[in-house]
Amino acid sequence: MNNITTPGQVITDLKLSSNKDSGEKKISKKEENVSSTSDITNILLLGETGVGKSTFINAFANYLTFNTLEEAQRNEPVVLMPVSFLMTTGDNFEEHIVKFGDIDDSNNEDFDHPGQSVTQHCKAYVFYLNGTDQQKLRIIDTPGFGDTRGIEQDDLNMEHILEYVNNLSHLNAICFLLKPNASRLNISFRSCITQLFSLLDQNALNNIIFCFTNSRSTFYTPGDTAPLLKKMLISLSIGNVPFKKENTFCFDSESFRYLVALQNGIEFNGNERQEYEMSWSTSVTQSNRLIDYIGRNIDIYRIDNNLQSIKHAQYEINHMIRPMLETMRNILRNLILYKMNSSRTSIELHPRVLDHPITICLSCKGKIIEIGNFLVTYDVSHKIEKKCCSCQCPYNQHRSIGYLLEYKLLNKPSIYDRNQMNDMLYELCHASAEFSYFLYHVAHSSNEDQLMSGLLRMIQQEADICENQKTNHKNSELVKALNELKCIYEEQINEMKSMKELNKLSYIYQRIKHISEYPMVREQMVASKQGQKMMMKESEYEVPKSLPNTFVH
């Protein structure tokens, strides 16, 4: 019995350990594989629900591919994503539902609920410019704002967009798509810009451009939307947003719709054809001017290099929550093994990134595996399409994760001694309380303490193992140790109220940097970000280079 460490002994060491210099071995930051800013142009496309972003992207791809409508008719249209629209023809206004692409095979588009954003998630489309893979253009389609499901859905959509942007290396342009002659601007437009610049700083203001679709009726000008837009931009508190001829581009997607309608066997008269030929020619000119403006007049806005904002810090901390919690749990495992096995064995964490998106269910119990006489819950990936294909639990009980954790039993002690492990545990617990305070009181990101929720989930996992599995007392000791850790975390949360440093962004970034240098945390963070990029890649469509005149510019 003398070799058994009780939770109280482990946690007592933790309470007494206040030495911030834990002797933790540092690792240099690994360079992540990101696309060079010189070989790809990133355009973020934003707009109100129903403005026609998906149609615009399809049209834009065809305008860059075919210089004339006649040339487009001789070839198959470029299909980036399915679209569906109503068109009337003839003296009796005959209605035709025109479909372009495979509507039934699109998981990212929802055509069944008018007023709701058709695009469900951010999806990128990569074009090759000048027929070479040395120059690429990536347009990022986003869920529309002004969703009929309400402000809460708009906020969820915007949060998804910001998380996507945060994982990019850079932005070349932020494009707002509008219709001319609007009688008013949706209030969600203001919210969209304000939230975007809670992540980005004022240096990105010059990367904003405005595109108007369906502008043939206003002689290819912004029409009555212009004064409304000017008034709204002036009233913003984010800085001077440029809105002038140089960064404004007027298109007409009707000529593209005409092309698609022809493919659907709909007939038009000669006068209509002449109008659409002129529309196509004008849109081709505007497309080329837009590419020129971005390439020559706008500086690249870096996201992965020294960007600091409250929203950015929030996302960095969100990436750290699971790595920190899992590291603390594994330190407790090794502290228990340290005493019980006289330092003969230890457990290592090995994050593994899969080649496909990973989703876990918070309600389903994972697979139980045995590692060094510990029973460990191994997360099982669930397949998600429009609903979970692996279980019947509600969609909101599922979470995307960037990596799966694997465990390795070593027939040797941990590289850290008992004091070092206790110091790391103290640092991680203290930083968890700091980050939780920042997320709730400064970033106002959630009404839920995500670190506490994660800690409670770990406790529940271990308690389920003890209740349902034939186990030795190691998992029971771990449950007690985690509960003691929870109590200490709660005490530290209460102490955070007197720490004025937590309101300083520079201090938070110092703490993020310090905790990120712990190898067990760092390796999981690298895996998490690689997993995020993998998920982004999965939602990206690359236009084949074999297309005729592939975006010759």
Q: Classify residue 361: in a domain, yes or no.
A: no
Please report whether residue 233 resides in a domain. yes
CA-CA distances (angstroms) from residue 171 to 45, 52, 65, 208, 511? 11, 22, 23, 10, 27
With 0-12 CB in 10 A as exposed, 13-18 as middle and 19+ as buried, what is 228? middle
pLDDT of residue 14: 46
487's enclosing H/E stretch is helix 473-495
CA distance 405 to 366: 12
Q: Which residue reads 């309600």 in tokens?
A: 363
> What mean pLDDT do residues 62-76 have?
91
The verdict on residue 103 lying in a domain is yes
Instruction: Give the integer Cα–Cα distance in Å for 396 and 393.
Output: 8
Q: Is the pLDDT of residue 317 over 60?
A: yes
Specify if 373 maps to a domain.
no
- pLDDT value at residue 510: 96
Specify the range with the lowest mean pLDDT, choosing from 203-212, 319-328, 338-347, 435-444. Answer: 338-347
Q: Are 103 and 28 members of one domain? A: no
Examine residue 246 and state whether it is found in any structural domain, yes or no.
Answer: yes
Query: Is the confidence at residue 386, as pLDDT, over 80?
Result: no
157 has pLDDT over 70? yes
What is residue 53's three-state secondary structure? Answer: helix
Residues 178 and 258 grouped into a single domain: yes
In the structure, what pLDDT confidence band is assigned to residue 382 with cuts at 50, 70 and 90? confident
**Any domain includes 393:** no
Instruction: For residues 261 and 214, state if they share a domain.
Output: yes
Q: Are residues 330 and 474 in the same domain?
A: yes
CA–CA separation, 437 and 507 (whole Å): 13
- The domain containing residue 158 runs over which residues? 40-303
DSSP class of residue 550 equals: T
- The reported pLDDT for the residue numbered 313 is 96
Query: What is the rounded average pLDDT of the residues 407-419?
Result: 92
Instruction: Give yes or no: residues 22 and 45 share one domain.
Output: no
Strands (E), 149-214: 170-171, 173-178, 208-212
- 246 and 112 assigned to the same domain: yes
Q: Which pLDDT score is estimated for 86?
A: 84
Q: Which of 119-123, 368-372, 481-485 has the lowest mean pLDDT?
A: 119-123
Determine, yes or no, domain membership for 391. no
The three-class DSSP label of residue 217 is helix
Q: What is the rounded CA–CA span in Å between residue 502 and residue 430? A: 12
**Residue 59 shares a structural domain with residue 183:** yes
User: 98: pLDDT confidence band, cut at 50, 70 and 90?
Assistant: confident
Residues 241-274 pLDDT 10s: 999 999 999 999 888 988 988 888 888 888 888 9
Predicted local confidence at residue 101, as pLDDT: 76
Query: Angle of helix 473-495 relative to helix 418-437, nearest 10 degrees?
Result: 50
Share the mean pLDDT of the chain.
85
Assess whether pLDDT exceeds 50 at residue 9: no
Q: Where among 303, 327, 354 does a domain terminate? A: 303
Residues 446 and 506 grouped into a single domain: yes
8 A C-beta contact, residue 531 and residue 399: no
6 has a pLDDT exceeding 50: no
Q: Which of 124-138, 254-268, 383-397 has the lowest mean pLDDT?
A: 383-397
- Domain limit, last residue, from 303, 322, 356: 303
> Tokens at residue 428, please?
């991680």
pLDDT reading at 514 higher than 90: yes
CATH of the domain at 95: 3.40.50.300
Sorting pLDDT into bands at 50, 70 and 90, what band is 116? very low
Decide if pLDDT at 388 tops 90: no
**Residues 107 and 180 placed together within one structural domain of the fold:** yes
H or E, element range at 442: none
191-195, 358-362, 515-519: which range is least confident on average?
358-362
Which tokens go with 47? 């707009």
- Is 386 within a domain? no
Q: Would you state the pLDDT for residue 549? A: 47
- Across residues 301-321, what is the average pLDDT? 92
Mean pLDDT of 456-481: 89
Q: Report pTM.
A: 0.84
- Burial profile 193-215: b = 16 or more Cβ within 10 angstroms, e = fewer: bebbbbbbeeebbbbbbbbbbbb
Measured CA distances, 23 to 121, 341, 507 (Å): 44, 24, 21
Of 168-182, 312-326, 342-356, the poorest mean pLDDT is in 342-356
Most confident region among 375-379, 381-385, 510-514 by mean pLDDT: 510-514
343 has a pLDDT exceeding 80: no
- Judge if 83 and 21 occupy the same domain: no
How many domains is the chain built from?
2
Extract the tokens encoding 296. 């020559």
| Cβ neighbours around 331 below 10 Å, total | 24
Query: Using an 8 Å Cβ cutoff, are 357 and 552 in contact?
Result: no
pLDDT band at 119 (very low <50, low <70, confident <90, very high): low
Whether 14 and 132 map to the same domain: the answer is no
| pLDDT value at 124 more than 90 | yes
d(CA 311, CA 495): 24
Whether 118 and 96 map to the same domain: the answer is yes
66 vs 548: CA distance, rounded Å: 8
- Give the type of residue at 125: Y
Structure tokens at 409: 């039993």
